[in-house]
Structure formats: C-alpha cells, structure tokens
Amino acid sequence: MLAFIARRLLATIPVLAMVAVFVFLMLRLTPGDPAAIIAGDNANSQQVAEIRSKLGLDQPLLSQFAIWSARILRGDFGESFFFKKTVTDLIVQRLEPTLALAIATILLSVLVAVPLGVIAAYRHESWIDRGVMALSVFGFSVPVFVIGYLLIYVFAIELGWLPVQGYRPIAGGFGPFIERLILPACTLSVIYIALIARITRASMLEVMNEDYIRTARAKGLGEATILIRHGLRTAAIPIVTVIGIGIALLIGGVVVTESVYGIPGIGRLTVDAVLARDYPTIQAVVLLFSFVYVLVNLAIDLAYVFLDPRIRY
C-alpha cells in the first residue's frame, strides 16, 4: 500500500514536468508582451526593452526555460511581474479563501446531494424521485453566474440576510467568515448537487437490484440498514469518483464565483495574472492546479481501496 502511494507520487513528476513545458511554451507562443504591459502606454521602446531584459525575456527561449525550471526545482517560483511580490507569497496569501470556498462547496454538495439521491432511488418513480431529477436538470442548465447574481439579489439585496460580497479570513472570527461564504458556496454547489444526486440515484438504483440486497431483506434487517449499510456503501464508488472529478473541476467554477462575489482567492488571481500576462504567476498557478488534480486522483484511488476490499494495489 505504502509502496503504491510512493509509486503514484513518483509518477506525478513526469506529469508535472510535461505540464511545465506545455505551460511555458503556451505562454511564450501566444501574442502579447508582458514588458509592454508593465511599462504602460506612455513608455518608449527603450524603457520596454530595459524591462524586458530585467525580466530575462530577451534571452533565447531555451535558456529562459532552463533558468525557470532550475529555480522551480529549488522551490523558487520567481517574482510576479505584476504584483511585485514573490509568487510563493502571493499564492499562500490567496490560498485560504479558495480552500475555504472549495471545502464549503464540496461539503454542502455531498451533504445535500447524497441523501437526495438515496431518497430518489428508494422512492423510485415517485414524485420525490421526479422532483429530484427535475432539480438536477435545472442545476445543470443554469450558468454559475446567473445563480450567483440571483442569490445575491434575493438573499443579500431584497432580504438583506447576508452580505453581498467580500471575504473575511477565518482568523477574524467564524461568524463573519461563514456569513460571507454561504452564498458563494451555495452558488458553486448547485451544479455539483445536480451531478452527485444524479449519480447517487443511478448507482443506488443499480445496487438495490443486487442479490445481496435481497439477502439483507431475507435476514430481517430494517430498510434504513439495508439502504445505508448494504446499499450506499457498495454504491459509493461511482459517487466518490464523481466527487473527485467535481473537486478537480471546481477550479473552473471558483474563477467565476470568486469574481461574482469579490473573493480574493486563487481564481481571481488566475484571471488577473492572465490579463496582465504575468508569466511567473500563471505558470505557478497552473502547476499548482495540476498537482492538485494528481493528488485528488490519488485520493480517489485510495478511497476505492477503503470502500471495496476487492480492490488492492
């Protein structure tokens, strides 16, 4: 088992290396000059050239890459062109809001979606089932920003129950922290609730037809025990897979949601860095994202082992 985890972690190295090459080339091969952006509209060509040489952008591509990757291997992601800070500091600073939003979203999604899916499957073809399915179609089809503005309008502006936007670190007290997290997390979780509820329902429907569910009934067990202990546990693998994919896809959703609610997280950082052609920041963020993807996948694989004793690595 430990050997498996070690092997999987080692396997992330070539993946990250490929991502690094890819990001590096993509940025350099797209039009637009960061030096010109930093220098501003009034700068003359000499000033731009100075900035370019200061950033090392006048070097040949290959040596830029060599310098950059040598630094990364030492854990130094360089200094942001645009924010004038080291990229590491920048990311650490922006990490908390995004993590808080992501965790709140996933928790909310799972806590709402899994029971919904289980109930829908248990009451298959009843009005509850059809209701859950209808909600799920709705959740899939409405864009994140529409839900975001809708929730802000109803709960923040009309009812005035929650703040419109912003973020307070958890260090400043749990109340204000969670108050500002509710609407963004609800917004972001709609699509995940739709997705996870659907998968839970489908997976449960399949499992509830299995022979061992009949055996459980024949043992005289109660319906709740049958549903949770025998049903949900074996139905969990597809559900966990989707939750994992959800976590990975969350990054896309975070960008939009953070913009709508003015949360200073990684999502916003990514957007700002792209607009400013801030190469070091973009590179670091993309590398971070791909590392998270790999870790999430590893976590899913480990969850399989925990859920199903037939799976062994």
Partner 1 sequence: MDGETPILDVRGLTIALPAGADRRLAVDAVSFTVRPREIVCLVGESGSGKSVTGFSVMGLLPKTLRATGGQVLLAGEDMLQATPQRLRELRCTRMSMVFQEPMTALNPVMTCGEQIDEVLRAHTTLDAPARQRRIVDLLGRVRMTEPERMAAAYPHQLSGGQRQRIMIAMAVALEPALIIADEPTTALDVTTQAQILELIKDIQRQFATGVLFITHDFGVVAEIAHRVAVMRHGRLVEFGPAADVLSHPREAYTRMLIAAVPGMAPPARAPAGLKDEVLRVDRLAKTYETGGWLGRKRSVNAAAGVSLCVRRGETLGIVGESGSGKSTVARCVARLVDPSAGRILIGGQDIARLAAGALRPFRRKVQVIFQDPYRSLNPRRTIRQSMVEGPMNYGLGAVPALERATALLDLVGLEAGALDRYPHQFSGGQRQRICIARALAMEPELLIADEPVSALDVSVQAQVLDLIEDVRRRLDLAILFITHDLRVAARVCDRVAVMRRGEVVEEGLIEAVFLEPRHEYTRALLAAAPGKDWQFGALAAG
Among 76, 96, 210, 272, binds partner 1 (CB under 8 A): 210
- Class of residue 306 by CB neighbours under 10 A (exposed 0-12, middle 13-18, buried 19+): exposed
Query: Is 84 or 312 the residue whose CB approaches partner 1 more closely?
Result: 312
Nearest to partner 1 of 33, 308 (CB atom)? 308
Q: How far is the CB of 210 from partner 1 (least distance, A)?
A: 6
Spatial CA neighbour of 227 closest among 204, 206, 243: 204
Q: How far apart are CA 307 and CA 27, in angstroms?
A: 42
Q: Does 126 bind partner 1 (CB under 8 A)?
A: no
Q: Is 86 helix (H, G, I), strand (E, B) or coil?
A: strand
Site for partner 1 (CB under 8 A): which residue of 80, 234, 283, 297? 234
Angle in degrees, 0-180, between the axes of helices 266-275 and 279-307, rounded to the nearest 10: 150
For the chain, what's the residue count? 313
SS3 173: coil
- Whichever of 130 and 233 has its CB closer to partner 1, that residue is 233
Q: Shortest distance, CB of residue 212 to partner 1, whole angstroms?
A: 4
Question: Does residue 58 belong to the site contacting partner 1 (CB under 8 A)?
Answer: no
205 binds partner 1 (CB under 8 A): no
Q: Is 313 in the site for partner 1 (CB under 8 A)?
A: yes
Q: Determine the interface stretch with partner 1 among 27-35, 103-111, 147-155, 218-226 (rule: CB under 8 A).
A: 218-226
Interacting residue ranges for partner 1, rule: CB under 8 A: 4, 7-8, 210-212, 214-222, 225, 229-230, 233-234, 307-310, 313
